[in-house]
Amino acid sequence: MTLKIVQVGDPILRQAGSPLTPDEIRSASTRQLIDVMRETMREAPGVGLAAPQIGESIQLAVIEDRPEYIKDLSQDQISERQRSSIDFHVIINPVMSIVGDSTAEFFEGCLSLTGFVGVVSRSVRVIVNCLNEHAEPVTIEAEGWYARILQHEIDHLNGTLYIDRMDTRSFATVENINRLGANPRPQRGTKSAKDLD
């Protein structure tokens, strides 16, 4: 079973999600929600999905960057993005800290803005403290593409979309990026990237 993904303009995407208690996290309904979110994310396909994107205003997101999403990238692209496969996992009630000053610009897309991308500058390294699906505390230290995914999903949990952070001159349809190449901004070089969530 999969769910319909909420599209931009729906007010739920602009609300901060409510935190979950340990009992709520361990409930059968949350376990079922996580299973459905995993299948919805995979069918889309995407590398992350936040609960507000399926109409649930709670602090929960699922993440997975499957090997098949990376197999068509060149070694240069993989290296440039600092990208590797990421096993499926859940983040709940995340608190993120930025590590260092390094940032990187890449195109991002979103399953809630189907067919569009924009260049977003994100921190290269982050630390996220959260709970997992068993309500156990977890600390995630991430860099590169994984750090970007975490920032994108945590933004969703706080009512922020990538379009709030993008270079507005880079906003383009996926069709035009594929047709014209990865640089819709002739005055500045940018890097292309597969849609995030």
Asked whether residue 82 is domain-assigned, the answer is: yes
Question: Along the 197 residues of the chain, how does pLDDT read in single tens digits?
Answer: 899 999 999 999 999 999 999 999 999 999 999 999 999 999 999 999 999 999 999 999 999 999 999 999 999 989 999 999 999 999 999 999 999 999 999 999 999 999 999 999 999 999 999 999 999 999 999 999 999 999 999 999 999 999 999 999 999 999 998 888 755 443 444 444 444 55
What per-residue confidence (pLDDT) applies to 193? 44
Instruction: Domain count for the chain, please give it.
Output: 1
What are the start-end ranges of the H helices in 117-182?
Answer: 144-157, 174-180
Asked whether residue 197 is domain-assigned, the answer is: no
Asked whether residue 130 is domain-assigned, the answer is: yes
pLDDT in tens, 69-127: 999 999 998 999 999 999 999 999 999 999 999 999 999 999 999 999 999 999 999 99
Single-letter residue type at 11:
P
CATH assignment of the domain containing 26: 3.90.45.10
Domain that holds residue 73: 11-180
Give how far Cα 129 sits from Cα of 98, 102, 116, Å: 12, 20, 31
Asked whether residue 149 is domain-assigned, the answer is: yes
Of 56, 68, 153, 175, the active-site residue reads 153
∠151-196-170 over CA atoms, to 5°?
Answer: 90
Asked whether residue 196 is domain-assigned, the answer is: no
Integer Cα distance of 47 and 49 in angstroms: 7
User: Is residue 141 flagged as an active site residue?
Assistant: no
Stated pTM of the model: 0.91
